[in-house]
Each structure stands twice: as C-alpha cells, then as structure tokens.
A = this chain, B = another copy of it.
C-alpha cells in the first residue's frame, strides 16, 4: 500500500465563469489561494462541484497551468482527470503529473451504463499504462448519483492489488455510509475520503483520510475543526455544527447555491454564474438560502492566516 499524499479537508473547488461563459482564471487562482489560506489541506479542482464535466479538456489544462504559474503548490492539487475515453483521461492525467500534482481524482467512464467490472478494470489499467509514470497517484472517484455506474468494493480491491503504488485512494460520493465502511474495513491504509462532511467524524473514527466535500468551498474552517479535534470530547458537537451547515445548503441545488454564497460574501455578483446545463439559483431561492444561513449563524470563514493575495 502506498503512502498518503493527502489527508484532511480537501475542497472540490468551484470554477468561476466570466460574462461570456468562459472559465475565469483570475478569480479561480484567487479563490484557490484563499481556500489554502483558510486551511484547506488540498484542492480537488475539477470535480463534480467544479462543473469540470462542463469544461473541455483544454479548459481544464489551461486552468491548471494558470494555478501552477500563479504559485499554488502542485503537491496540494488533486485535479479531476476523469473522462469517458481512455485517451482523454490519460491526456489529462499526463498533463497533471507533469505539473507535479499530489494526485488525480479519476472517474470511471460514465457514458455507457451497465459495464461490468472487467471492462472498468481494463479502462483504468489502460489509462495507467498510457500515462506510465510512477508519479501518477490515482484517487478513484465513486459517485453513482452522477455516473449511474459505480466502482464495486471488489473492483477497488483488484485495482489496489494490481497497481498498489498508483491506486492509492478513493472519494466515496455514494452517500452510502455502508459502502464507505466496507472500503475502510477491507482496505486498511487505502486513503478513503467520504464525499460529504456529514460522514467525516464517523469516517475518521474508522480510519478515513479526511473528506473531500463541496461545502468546503464555504466552510473550510468548520470542517477542519472536526479533523483537528476528532479525538476530543467536543468532536460530536463540532460535527453537529458542520452537518447543520451542510444540510442547510444542500436543501438547494448544491453548485448554484455555493456559488451564490461565495458571490454574496465576496460581494462579487459574477461569481454566481454557472455553465449550462446548470442554472443559477433564482433570486427568491437565493434570498431564502442566505436567510437560512443567517438563522443558523453561518458566516463565510476568514483566512486562518493572512491571505497571500
């Protein structure tokens, strides 16, 4: 089993868009820097929350180039390199590895449904062999609500067995604690990250590496407190706080809601823009969301240390 390049709170960073609907690298760099300043342990850029699947491969590569050029430490980055084709997935992974990223988050090919484990195994194996680099560290991305095609616990085991230095972790966005628990039981040392902080404390108590969670975009400091204090008496109370924030936000469509929150607290209305097929949160819902957050006393965290921006 390989070493753990990541642990703690990882944020699948929102991708800002400009007025004409293209990714806004300037806002993106500034936001990534702020998340690190707030205490994020890693940035899982180009995940589901990042609308990465609404970006072409070239757009993802350019944003990564810009981040690294701006001085964001590549070791803190876990870019999503998933794509439906071996060729595109390998190209994205190769580009990321060349930048020295800490790891990549890799979806299964998600167009064809009902593919069996042999086919999925062959897909990951082909990507690994095309990238052909010991620096490649893959975190599998299990997110059946979007892919409608999961990575079975057995398939994960086959990949770990055949590629122990490459397949080093998994983000479990199934929302199914039993699946997360089964992975933790079966593969000790394998870096499992629940895809929601709702499972963070239970996960840490069972050996999870941390969590990779959408709401990290607006609540790094709260989630971090659970990571730092999970063995302390106050752990359950801290967990209850972050669960409350999560549940308040996820009553709304997650990505438009998070972008609306960022737009509000940064006083930057353009931040609310999403790319189709997503739609922005309507005004009435935006007001309701901000009201709900005020009711629970939520305010966007300040940087843990002085921002380098």
Q: Using CB atoms and an 8 Å cutoff, list the residues of chain A in contact with chain B.
A: 21, 48, 53-59, 83-88, 91, 108-113, 115-116, 118-120, 122-123, 125-126, 145-148, 275-279
**Which residues from chain B contact A116 at a C-beta distance below 8 Å?**
279
Q: How far is the CA of A108 from the CA of B277 in the complex (A)?
A: 9
Q: How far is the CB of A169 from chain B (nearest CB, A)?
A: 21
Instruction: Given A53-B112, A111-B110, verify A119-B279 contact (CB < 8 Å).
Output: yes
Cross-chain contact A21 with B146 (CB below 8 angstroms): no
Q: How far is the CA of A10 from the CA of B278 in the complex (A)?
A: 33
Cross-chain contact A276 with B86 (CB below 8 angstroms): yes
Cross-chain contact B146 with A111 (CB below 8 angstroms): yes
**Which residues from chain B contact A279 at a C-beta distance below 8 Å?**
116, 118-119, 122
CB-nearest residue of chain B relative to A130?
B21
Q: How far is the CB of A119 from chain B (nearest CB, A)?
A: 4
**Which residues from chain B contact A86 at a C-beta distance below 8 Å?**
21, 54, 275-276
Given contacts A85-B275, A110-B110, A119-B278, 11 further A-B contacts (CB under 8 A): A54-B85, A54-B112, A56-B83, A56-B88, A59-B85, A86-B275, A108-B277, A111-B146, A120-B276, A123-B276, A126-B276
